[in-house]
Amino acid sequence: ADERNCKVIEFMELKQGSMSVSEYAAKFEDLCRFAPHYNALEAEEDKCVKFENGLRPDIKQLIGFSEIRNFPMLVNKS
């Protein structure tokens, strides 16, 4: 359970930083498994908001808060 809690915390604090978007997306998806709320179908919007918030400001501006609420589309657009 401790490792799981660590992964949840890591997920909640995850930011893109120096990762590429695809690296960030892969890490995001990997850690997302440990946060059950974000895996529910009805949580797609929350998942997108969480992903967007972790993107670097320059990339966030590029997608222009496009309100994309489909995770795969959001990753592709980023």
How many angstroms separate the CA atoms of 67 and 51, rounded? Answer: 12
Sequence ranges of the domains in the chain = 2-77
| pLDDT value of position 8 | 95
How many angstroms separate the CA atoms of 52 and 60, rounded? Answer: 7
Q: pTM of the full predicted structure? A: 0.86
| pLDDT value of position 28 | 97
| pLDDT value of position 56 | 95
Cβ atoms of 3 and 43 closer than 8 Å = no
| Interval 16-75: pLDDT, tens | 999 999 999 999 999 999 998 898 888 999 999 999 999 999 998 888 766 778 888 888
